[in-house]
């Protein structure tokens, strides 16, 4: 059951439910703002929550890409996929991403953008909760 369900149904004061969630989000955002990638993204041309549709194996697949960005018009586009999974500091991000199906997910994103733009984008997976830091995986 979602922690927000009782609140959505009007059965509880939202404070005790929302406060821990807001604190967690604030911690993750503050952590990311201290990472060098944050400054790069802040200065880049960005497209957030970008919808896509793609035909794979005769099936229509659609979804939302967290972020598509490039640091200059002459640079390649990069897909940034954010993950909030809580991981140990020594986690192997490549293995974890494979086990969770995240690599397949970003491969689909990459195919969709390649189809639309005619050039393959780079991909970054940004794990915001690796121990007390941010982990960045460049699949491939």
Per-residue pLDDT tens over the stretch 67-97: 999 999 999 999 999 999 999 988 899 999 9
Burial of 52 (0-12, 13-18, 19+ CB in 10 A): middle
Q: Give the 3-state secondary structure of residue 81.
A: strand
Please say whether the beta carbons of 9 and 17 come within 8 A. no
Q: Which secondary-structure segment (H or E) carries 85?
A: none
Q: What is the pLDDT of residues 117-140, one digit of tens each?
A: 999 999 999 999 999 899 999 987
pLDDT tens column, 42-55: 999 999 999 999 99
Binned at pLDDT 50, 70 and 90, residue 4 comes out as low
Q: Which helix (H) or strand (E) holds 57?
A: none
What pLDDT is attached to residue 28?
A: 93
Q: Which CATH class is domain 45-137?
A: alpha beta
| CA-wise closest residue to 111 among 34, 30, 32, 54 | 54
Prediction pTM value: 0.84
């Amino acid at each position: 059951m979602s922690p927000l369900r009782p609140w959505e149904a009007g059965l509880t004061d939202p404070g005790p439910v929302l406060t821990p969630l807001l604190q967690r989000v604030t911690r993750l955002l503050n952590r990311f703002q201290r990472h060098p990638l944050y400054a790069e993204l802040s200065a880049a041309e960005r497209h957030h929550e970008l919808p896509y549709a793609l035909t794979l194996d005769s099936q229509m697949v659609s979804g939302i890409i967290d972020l598509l960005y490039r640091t200059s018009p002459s640079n390649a586009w990069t897909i940034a996929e954010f993950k909030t999974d809580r991981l140990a500091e020594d986690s192997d991000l490549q293995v974890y991403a494979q086990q969770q199906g995240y690599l397949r997910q970003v491969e689909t994103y990459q195919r969709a953008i390649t189809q639309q733009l005619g050039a393959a984008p780079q991909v970054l997976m940004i794990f915001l909760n690796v121990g007390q830091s941010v982990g960045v995986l460049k699949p491939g």
